[in-house]
């Protein structure tokens, strides 16, 4: 830090000091400064903190007390731990204990803690005590306290303040941040120029520039975890559905799904007697479907079989008993013949009806295609021979 001398158009360094050299203490000075100027710890744009207690010792069965307790605009409790010239080794463990104690505080308890703080302030000043509930409603910008979300689960934040941080502290704070635990480290440095004293407050973890990036990464990780959970749920659901469906297929007299185990995908394949041209049972959230899929690597072979079947469309649909959907899919390798039904697939109460439908229509589709496919096998061999 430098002092500017306008008259000389020069700058001179301002001497940095240790708190102890200036006879400044944690409770009498640093804590008082931050209590009355919490904006020193809100370097993010739009961030505000409201101090609701200091030297808080209202934890059951312990004699421990945290330095400052605040609340942010989202109703999250903020534990502020102050150390002077050295953070010490155990400050993170200390703050985590306080956060765990605070995590169980109800909305009513938070209001009571704040009211006791305001009452103490009133005694010190001789003025009437402010109303904690009214102050919280105004600060949180809600219609009433009942609409406020205060101290939600896993929402507690940690702020550390010190002139110097040990590596074990910064390393642990960075590690905790990976688990969506909001941790900030502020470096405070006193300066002296003549008789004047100055205090520099600098956020070092996370740096202001990286805060937005870290918030984005946490949101992305949360989204990915949510997606993974949903995927695992769907896998479990499908396994249960296919287990019942394949059992019903085998009990129907069909041999298509003999020796096939239920899988986690939304489809179950069965051989048709033609390479890479299986039958599929489809189980989706919004529909169930039976289909014959032509998916050989050679798209021209798929087209050949599809067109050969399509030439018998009227006879096949008559044998099946309904109009089928014929997907030539000219821009893709695979061709498909399908029949579907809209359902609420993830409602288990619908499963018996859905399984009956799949069993019936797969048997009908296999029966309708059995003879045409036998005839096409011979012509397909001749076609492939002519391509060699």
Q: Which residues contact 289 (CB under 8 A, 6 or more apart)?
A: 280, 281, 282, 338, 339, 340, 341
Band of residue 234 on the pLDDT scale cut at 50, 70, 90: confident
215, pLDDT greater than 60: no
Residue 244 has what DSSP assignment? Answer: H
Residue 130 has what DSSP assignment? Answer: P
Poorest-confidence range of 35-49, 96-110, 143-157, 173-187?
A: 35-49
Alpha carbon distance 359, 366 (integer Å): 11
Band of residue 44 on the pLDDT scale cut at 50, 70, 90: low
| Count of all residues that appear for the chain in the document | 388
Name the residue with higher pLDDT: 79 or 331.
Answer: 79
58, pLDDT greater than 60: yes
Output the 3-class SS for 339-355: EEEECCCCCHHHHHHHH
Name the 3-class secondary structure at 52. strand
Residue 332's pLDDT is 72
Q: What does the pLDDT average to over 361-373?
A: 96
Residue 75 has what DSSP assignment? Answer: S
CB atoms inside a 10 Å sphere around CB 126: 6
Give kind and range of the element (H or E) at residue 252. Answer: none
* Domains assigned to the chain: 2-105+151-206 (3.40.1350.10), 226-387 (3.30.1460)
pLDDT digits (tens, 9 = 90+) for 122-181: 999 999 999 999 999 999 988 888 888 999 998 999 999 999 999 999 999 989 988 888
């Amino acid at each position: 830090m430098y002092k500017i001398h306008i008259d000389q158009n020069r700058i001179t360094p301002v001497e940095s000091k240790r708190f102890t050299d200036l006879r400044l203490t944690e409770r009498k000075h640093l804590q008082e400064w931050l209590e009355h100027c919490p904006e020193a710890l809100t370097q993010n744009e739009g961030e505000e903190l409201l101090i609701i207690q200091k030297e808080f010792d209202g934890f059951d069965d312990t004699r421990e007390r945290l330095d400052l307790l605040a609340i942010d605009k989202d109703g999250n409790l903020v534990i502020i731990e102050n150390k002077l010239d050295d953070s010490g080794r155990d400050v993170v463990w200390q703050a985590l204990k306080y956060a765990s104690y605070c995590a169980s505080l109800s909305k009513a308890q938070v209001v009571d803690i704040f009211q006791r703080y305001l009452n103490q302030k009133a005694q010190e000043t001789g003025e009437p005590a402010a109303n904690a509930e009214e102050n919280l409603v105004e600060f949180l910008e809600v219609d009433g306290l009942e609409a406020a979300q205060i101290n939600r689960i896993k929402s507690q934040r940690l702020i550390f303040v010190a002139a110097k941080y040990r590596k074990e502290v910064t390393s642990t704070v960075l590690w905790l941040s990976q688990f969506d635990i909001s941790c900030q480290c502020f470096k405070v440095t006193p300066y002296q120029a003549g008789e004047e004293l100055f205090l520099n407050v600098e956020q070092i973890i996370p740096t202001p520039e990286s805060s937005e990036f870290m918030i984005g990464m946490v949101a992305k990780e949360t989204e990915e975890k949510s997606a993974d959970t949903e995927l695992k749920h769907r896998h479990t659901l499908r396994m249960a559905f296919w287990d019942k469906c394949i059992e019903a297929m085998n009990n129907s007299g069909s041999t298509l799904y003999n020796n096939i185990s239920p899988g986690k995908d939304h489809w179950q394949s069965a051989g048709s007697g033609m390479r890479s041209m299986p039958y599929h049972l489809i189980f989706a959230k919004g529909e169930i479907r039976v289909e014959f899929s032509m998916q050989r690597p050679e798209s021209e072979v798929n087209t050949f079989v599809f067109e050969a079947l399509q030439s018998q469309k009227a006879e096949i649909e008559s044998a099946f008993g309904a109009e089928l959907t014929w997907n030539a899919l000219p821009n893709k390798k695979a061709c498909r013949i399908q029949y579907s039904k809209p359902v609420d697939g993830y409602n288990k109460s619908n499963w018996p009806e859905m399984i009956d439908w799949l069993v019936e229509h797969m048997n009908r589709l296999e029966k309708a295609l059995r003879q045409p496919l036998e005839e096409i096998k011979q012509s397909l061999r001749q076609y492939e021979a002519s391509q060699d």
